[in-house]
Amino acid sequence: MAQILDGKLVRDRIKGECAPRVARLIGKAGRPPGLAIVLVGDDAASAVYVRGKTTTAEELGIRHETITRDASLSTEELLAIIAGLNARKDIDGILVQLPLPSHIDTQKALLTVLPEKDVDGIHPCNIGLLSVGRPGPRPCTPSGVIELLKHYEIPIGGRNAVVVGRSDIVGKPMAMLLLQENATVTVCHSRTRDLKAVCRNAEILVAAIGRAAMLGEEHIAPGAVVIDVGVNRVGSRAEAERIFEAPRLALFDKLGSLLVGDVHPGAMARLASAYTPVPGGVGPLTIAMLMRNTIEAAERRLGVVSSGVVC
Closest by CA to 224, choosing from 277, 171, 159, is 159
Q: What is the pLDDT along the chain (311 residues), one digit of tens a residue?
A: 899 999 999 999 999 999 999 999 999 999 999 999 999 999 888 999 999 999 999 999 999 999 999 999 999 999 999 999 999 999 999 999 999 999 999 999 999 999 999 999 999 999 999 999 999 999 999 999 999 999 999 999 999 999 999 999 999 999 999 999 999 999 999 999 999 999 999 999 999 999 999 999 999 999 999 999 999 999 999 999 999 999 999 999 999 999 999 999 999 999 999 999 999 999 999 999 999 999 999 999 999 875 433 33
Catalytic residue among 53, 117, 118, 228: 53
Question: How high is the pLDDT of residue 44?
Answer: 86
Q: Is 120 a catalytic residue?
A: yes
Domains of the chain with CATH codes: 30-114 (3.40.50.10860), 140-284 (3.40.50.720)
- What pTM value is reported for the model? 0.93
Active-site entry in 15, 92, 97, 117: 97
Residue 306's pLDDT is what? 57
- Active-site annotation holder among 120, 172, 228, 262: 120
Q: Give residue-wise pLDDT tens across range 130-142.
A: 999 999 999 999 9
Catalytic (active site) residue 108: no
pLDDT score for 45? 85
Instruction: Say whether 172 is catalytic.
Output: no
